[in-house]
Amino acid sequence: MMGSMRGVTKRIQSIKFALLSPDEIRRMSATKIITADTYDDDGFPIDMGLMDSHLGVIEPGLRCKTCGGKVDDCPGHFGHIDLAMPVIHVGYVKDIKKLLQATCRKCGRLLLTRQQAQEYMAEMEQVEELGGDVTEVGFVTKETAREAQKRQRCPHCGEEQGKVTLDKPTTFREDGHKLTPKEVRERLERIPNEDLRVLGMNPEVARPEWMVLTALLVPPVTVRPSITLESGDRSEDDLTHKLVDVLRINQRLRENRDAGAPQLIVEDLWELLQYHVTTYFDNQTSGIPPARHRSGRPLKTLVQRLKGKEGRFRSNLSGKRVNFSARTVISPDPILSINEVGVPVEAARELTVPVHVQAYNQEIVKQWVKRGPTPLGLLGEYAPGVNYVIRPDGRRIRVTEKNAEVVAEAVEVGYTVERQLVDGDIVLFNRQPSLHRMSMMGHEVRVMPHKTFRFNLAVCPPYNADFDGDEMNLHVLQSEEARAEARVLMRVQEHILSPRFGGPVIGGIHDHITGAFLLTHKESKFTREEVTFILSKIDIRDLPPPDVKKGGKEFWSGKALFSAILPKNLSMTFKSSIAPKGDIGLKELKEEDSLVVIKDGVVASGTIDENAVGAFKGKIVDKLARDYGPDAARVFIDKATKMAIGAIMIRGFTTGIDDEDIPEEAKKQIADSLKTAIEKVEGLVESYKRGELEQMPGRSLEETLEVEAMKILGRARDLAGQVAGKHLGIENSAVIMARSGARGSMLNLSQMAGSIGQQAVRGERLSRGYWNRTLPHFKKGDLGAEAKGFVKSSYKSGLHPTEYFFHAMGGREGLVDTAVRTSRSGYMQRRLINALEDLKVKEDGTVRNTADTIIQFKFGEDGVDPSRSVQGRAVDIDDILQDVLGEEPSWKERLREQEMASYGLTEKDMYVEISEEEVEVEEEEPPSEE
C-alpha cells in the first residue's frame, strides 16, 4: 500500500449508530425533570425544572451543580423526562413498521422458517466478508424482511397474521384496529435477539422496543440557551418551549390516568403527548400541523436544526464565516491594471496582514506602530497603520492614538503586528455565485478614496460582473504560503486562458472593442494632437514617425499606433469579426478590411475588433497568453484597452433609435415583402383546407402546414432584416457595435428597423388562448400569419395591440425558461461538485480520490490541460509549421477559421446563468417540478 505517502491524514474506519435504552437515558441523566416551570420569581432556575442548574450553566458567574465548572468549562449535562405513557419515536416509524410486519403478532418470532433464516444469515455474513459496506448489507436485510412479510401464518406457533398498516405519521393499525404505542412496544419486546440479528440489528445496542419511548432525553441548557432581552425579559429557545409542552401534557396525562378518568380522555391526552414528542423531534412531519410560536412562526426543533441549507451541516460545518474579509459595491476603473483591485481607505484600515517582527524589520515595524492606527503620508494620503500588536504569549494589544508610542517601544523580535493594507498586497477577490475557479482570483491592492471596490473592465467576464449594484467580497491572506500560492496560481493574469474552452476569458468588452474598431478600421488617421492624447494613456513616450503627410500636416494611421503595443516578433493572420459571414474570397475580405495580417509586430491590414482583443474570442490575447506568457498578455490587455478608450474618446460615440432610420422606400419594400409572405401563408392555409397540401414525411398534415408557415415567415423576417441592413452602413454606430462584436447583433438591429417576426412558444406558432383562436380579434380557426403570432411591425415603428400581446407571450417563455434552467442547473452543479470535490491529479498523471484509488488513468484520457492546449491539442502544428516554413497563411488559416466557427462560440454560450439564490433541496430528492 501507499500508506506512507498519505502523511498525517486519518481515515474513519467505521461509525456505529445505536439506540438509547430507557435505562441508559436515566443513567446519563443529571436530573429528572418534572415541572414545566423554568425560573422562580427571583430569576433562579427551579430544581427539576427545564433550566435546572444540574443541566449546565449559561450565565456567567454561576457554577454547574453537576460538574462544578463555569460557563466555558462545563459542556452541559442531559436530563430526562419520564413519560407517563409510551410514545413512538417519529424517526423510527419505518423500522417499527418493518419489524411489526416481519414478526409474529403472538410469539414475536420472525416469520421465516429456521432454515430460511439461516440462509439469509449466511448470505449477510458472506457480503460482510467480501467487504460489502453498510448499504450492501442493508440490501440483504431488506430482502429478508420482505420475505418474512409475505407469510400469512407463523411457522413457529401457527398464529394467523393480521395486516399491519401505518397511518402516517405515527399511528399503527392491525386489520383496521388501532395499536397503541404500548401494544406496539409489547410486541417489539417479544422479538427474540437471534431473530433481530437476521434482520440486521444488533440487539445488544439496539433493542427494537427502545424505538418506543418511555423516557425522553432532555438536552443540556447549553444546547438551548435562553436569552435575556434588554428589557430584562427572558426569551426561551424553541426547544425549551417544546419541552414545556411535553411536560405539561405528560403531567395532565399522568393525573388523569391515576385518577381513573374516562378512557376517551386519557386516549386524547396520550395522542396529544405523541404530537408534542413528534414535533419536538421534527416539526415538519407530514400529516400533522407544525407546532407554532405565539407569534405564528413555526418552531425550529431538532430536525430543523440539522437539515437543509440553513442547517448545522451545510451552514456551520461545510461552510464557515471568516475574518479579514470585506464586501462592498463594485465600480469600474479602466486605469487600473487587470491584476489590481481598488480598495476603499475605510476597508484598508480594517483589513490587516500579520507581520512577524525579526531583527531585520524590527526598526521599521516600530515606526509603523508608532504612527498609530490612522497615519497619513506627507501629502495627506493614506499610509498603513497598525491595528493590533500580538505579544509572543498571544495577548493582543489594540493600538490607539494614545498608546501608540508606548506600545511601539515594547515591540521586539518574536512579536507580530497586524499591519493595514498597502498597495501591492495580494488579496482574493470573489463574486458569487462562484461557479468557476475564475470566480475567485488574486488581485494586488490599490488603496483609493471613495467607498467601492474598483477593478478593470476586462475582468468583468470571468466574474460575470456588471456595475448595476453588484457587490463583491475581498479576503486578505494571512500566511506567507497563502500569499505565495495566490501570487503564483491565482493572480488574474494566470487566468486569462480558461480551462473550459482553452480560450481567453479576460479581454476587451463593449467600448474597448468599439474603440479598437474606430482606431484601426480601414484608413483611420489621427493628427499629432490626437496621437499624443491616445499614447498618453499608455507609457509610450516617443512618437512614432508619421505615416502620411498631406498638405504640410502629419497623420498617423491607427494600425501603426496599435502596432506599437504588439511584440516585435508577432506574426499572425485571422479574420476580423466584421468579416462577412460564409465562405468568401480573399478579395471580399480585403475590401471590408477584415483580414487581419500581423507581420513582425505590425498590423499590415485588417480591423482590430472582437476577434482580436475581445474576451472569449480575442486571437491576439489568446496567442500572447499562450506563447509570450501571462505577463505579456496582461501588459497587452492593459494597454490595448486603454488605447481603445483613447480612440473612442477622440471620435465620440453614441447610438440612438435614429440609428435604425431607414428610407421610406425601404420601409415600403419591407412591407411589401412581408405582405407577400403573409399571402403565401394564406395560400398555404387555403391549400391545406382544400386538402391539397403535400404531406411531409413523418409529419401530419397540420404539422406540415405549421412547418411550412414557420419557414416562410422566418425567411420573411430575414429578408426584412437584409433590406434594412442594406441601408445601415458600417458608419452607423449600431452597426459598428453589432459587426465589431462590441454589443448587440444584426438580428437585434433588423428587429428594430425591419420586422420583429414570428413569436413562438415551445418552438411552435402561438395557438393557445381562446377556443380555437389566440385572441378574440381573430376568427375561430384562423390559421393565417397574423392570427398566430406573426409580428409585422418593428420595435421602432411600434407594435399593434395584438402584436404586443403576442410578443409578451413569446417573451414570457424566455423568462420561465431561464428561471427553470437556473434552479435546475444549480442543483446539478451542487451534486456534481459534491461528487468530484476531492479528486486530484497526482504526480503520475492519474486522477485519484482520497482513498488513492484511480478514477482516470490519465487526466481527461489524454493528460492535456485544456487551458494550455491549442484547440484541445498539446501542440499547435500549424503554428510551428508557419514559424519554420515562413509565412503562408490564407488558405490554412481559413480552414482553421471555419473549424472555429463550427464551435459556434458566442458570449452567450459562455455562461449558464445561475441565480444568486440556490434552490433549497433535499440531499437525494431533486427539486419538485411545478
Partner 1 sequence: MRFNVLEHQLVPEHRLVAEEDADRVLKALKITRDQLPKIRKSDPVIQVLEKIEGPIEEGRIIRVTRVSGTAGVSEAYRLVIGR
Q: Which range, of 337-345, 401-409, 467-475, 859-867, touches partner 1 by CB under 8 A?
A: 859-867
Amino acid code (one letter) for 847: V
Per-residue binding string, partner 1, 2-31, x by CB under 8 A, is x-----------------------------
Q: How far is the CB of 2 from partner 1 (least distance, A)?
A: 8
List the one residue from 665, 838, 862, 899 that touches partner 1 (CB under 8 A).
Answer: 862
Give the range of 182-190, 596-604, 821-829, 844-852 binding partner 1 by CB under 8 A: 844-852
Which lies closer to partner 1 via its Cβ, residue 902 or residue 928?
A: 902
CB nearer partner 1, residue 899 or residue 917: 899
Pick 696 or 835: Cβ nearer partner 1: 835
H or E element that contains 553: strand 553-557
Smallest distance, partner 1 to C-beta of residue 895, A: 17
Query: DSSP class of residue 314?
Result: I
Q: In angstroms, give the least distance from the CB of 178 to partner 1.
A: 42
Residues 6+ apart with CB under 8 A from 232: none
Provide CB contacts within 8 A for 325, sequence distance 6+. 351, 473, 474, 475, 476
Between residues 130 and 815, which has the closer beta carbon with respect to partner 1?
Answer: 130
Asked if 198 contacts 117 with a C-beta cutoff of 8 angstroms, the reply is yes
Compute the distance between CA of residue 361 and CA of residue 363 in angstroms, rounded to an integer.
Answer: 6
- Count of C-beta atoms within a 10 Å radius of residue 326: 19
∠ CA(692), CA(695), CA(700), 5° rounding? Answer: 115
x-marked contacts with partner 1 along 127-156 as a string, rule CB under 8 A:
---x--------------------------
CB nearer to partner 1: pick between 529 and 844: 844
Note whether 839 binds partner 1 by CB under 8 A: no
Q: Does 838 bind partner 1 (CB under 8 A)?
A: no
Of 587, 571, 568, 570, give the one whose Cα is nearest residue 579. 587
Q: Which of 264, 269, 265 is nearest to 249 (CA)?
A: 269
- Which residues are within 8 A (CB) of 248 and not within 5 positions of it... i.e. 6 or more apart? 36
Of these, 134, 406, 696, 855, which contacts partner 1 (CB under 8 A)? Answer: 855
Q: How far is the CB of 126 from partner 1 (least distance, A)?
A: 9
877 scored as a contact of partner 1 (CB under 8 A): no
Interaction of residue 835 with partner 1, rule CB under 8 A? no
Cell of 72: 466555558
Cell numbers describing residue 569: 516578433
Q: Which CB, 126 or 367, lies closer to partner 1? A: 126
Scanning 325-333, 374-382, 543-551, 857-865 for contacts with partner 1 by CB under 8 A, the matching segment is 857-865
**Nearest to 459, CA basis, from 333, 567, 576, 577:** 333
The rounded Cα 874 to chain-centroid distance in angstroms is 31
CB of 323 to partner 1, least distance (A): 40
Say which amino acid occupies 918: E
Question: Smallest gap, in angstroms, from Cβ of residue 128 to partner 1?
Answer: 12
# residues contacting partner 1 (CB under 8 A): 19
Part in contact with partner 1 (CB under 8 A); list of ranges 241-249, 396-404, 794-802, 851-859 = 851-859
Assess contact for 325 and 475: CB atoms under 8 A: yes
What's 102-123 look like in SS3? HECCCCCCECCCHHHHHHHHHH
The secondary element (H helix, E strand) that includes residue 597 is strand 595-599
Residue 505 beta carbon to partner 1: minimum distance, rounded to whole angstroms: 21
Binding mask 643-682 for partner 1 (x = CB under 8 A): ----------------------------------------
4 DSSP assignment: G
Q: Kindly report the CA angle at 656 between 653 and 662, in degrees rounded to 5? A: 115
What is d(CA 393, CA 106) in angstroms, rounded to the nearest whole number? 70
Residue closer to partner 1 (CB basis): 855 or 880? 855
Beta bridge partners of 455: 332
If the CB atoms of residues 373 and 863 are measured against partner 1, the closer one turns out to be 863
Among the candidate windows 269-277, 645-653, 734-742, 848-856, which touches partner 1 by CB under 8 A? 848-856
Nearer to partner 1, 857 or 911 (CB): 857
Q: Cα torsion for 206, 210, 212, 213, to the nearest 10°?
A: -140
Q: Could you tell me if 777 and 803 are in contact, meaning their C-beta atoms sit under 8 angstroms apart?
A: no
Q: Of the two residues 796 and 858, which places its CB atom closer to partner 1 in the complex?
A: 858
State yes or no: residue 500 binds partner 1 (CB under 8 A). Answer: no
Shortest Å distance, C-beta 909 to partner 1: 20
Q: Are 563 and 602 in contact (CB under 8 A)?
A: yes
| Burial class of residue 196 (count of CB atoms within 10 Å of its CB; 0-12, 13-18, 19+) | buried
Interatomic CA distance for residues 55 and 218, integer angstroms: 9
Phi-psi region of 607 (alpha: psi -120 to 50; beta: other; left: phi over 0): beta
Residue (42 or 843) nearer to partner 1, CB = 843
Q: Are 687 and 693 in contact (CB under 8 A)?
A: yes
- For partner 1, which residue of 856, 878, 897, 915 counts as binding (CB under 8 A)? 856
In this complex, which beta carbon is closest to partner 1, that of residue 289 or of residue 872?
872
Q: Which of 653, 846, 870, 878 binds partner 1 (CB under 8 A)?
A: 846
872 binds partner 1 (CB under 8 A): yes
Q: Tell me: does residue 808 bind partner 1 (CB under 8 A).
A: no
Residues 6+ apart with CB under 8 A from 825: 912, 914
**Which C-beta is closer to partner 1: that of 1 or that of 379?**
1
Q: Site for partner 1 (CB under 8 A): which residue of 861, 925, 929, 930?
A: 861
Please report where in the chains the cell 409474529 appears, as a residue.
104
Q: Which stretch binds partner 1 (CB under 8 A): 93-101, 198-206, 481-489, 842-850?
A: 842-850
Q: What are phi and psi of 773, to 5 degrees?
A: -160, 160
Q: Which is nearer to partner 1, 383 or 864 (CB)?
A: 864
Interaction between residue 501 and partner 1 (CB under 8 A): no
List interacting residues with partner 1 (CB under 8 A).
Answer: 1-2, 130, 844, 846, 848, 852-858, 860-862, 864, 872-873
